[in-house]
């Protein structure tokens, strides 16, 4: 699985979540929400320390990652995160 995060999206997360360099931002599966890959679930983000990384990338001096415990959600898909400039918010795509 590949995890890609655009520079613009990483900057957005840094600003909105008041993240400093060298932080670790986890994408995790949560119950509920809208726009997820599997009905009834969606993707959340939080500052966390990795335990068992499934996929990761470093952008803008922060590590963005997914834990092995959440691998089932992606079902052999890649995750791409980019910034919607009109709405000024990240767009999450399963490719």
72: containing domain? 3-94
Question: What domain count does the chain have?
Answer: 1
The mean pLDDT value for 30-57 works out to 85
pLDDT at residue number 34: 65
CATH number of the domain that residue 31 is part of? 2.60.300.12
CA 25 to chain centre: 7
DSSP for 16-46, please give it: HTTPPTT-EEEEEEEES-SS-SSTTEEEEEE
This prediction has a pTM of 0.90
Query: Could you report the per-residue pLDDT of 54-66, keeping only the tens digit for each?
Result: 999 999 999 999 9
Q: Which tops the pLDDT comparison, 66 or 32?
A: 66
Given a contact cutoff of 8 angstroms between Cβ atoms, the answer to whether 80 and 93 are in contact is yes
């Amino acid at each position: 699985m590949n995890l890609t995060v655009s520079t613009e999206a990483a900057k957005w997360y840094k600003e909105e979540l008041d993240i400093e360099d060298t932080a670790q931002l986890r994408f995790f599966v949560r119950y509920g929400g809208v726009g997820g890959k599997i009905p009834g679930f969606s993707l959340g983000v939080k500052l966390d320390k990795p335990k068992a990384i499934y996929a990761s990338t470093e952008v803008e001096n922060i590590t963005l990652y997914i834990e092995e415990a959440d691998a089932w959600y992606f079902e052999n898909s890649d995750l791409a995160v980019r910034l919607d400039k009109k709405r000024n918010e990240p767009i999450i795509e399963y490719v």
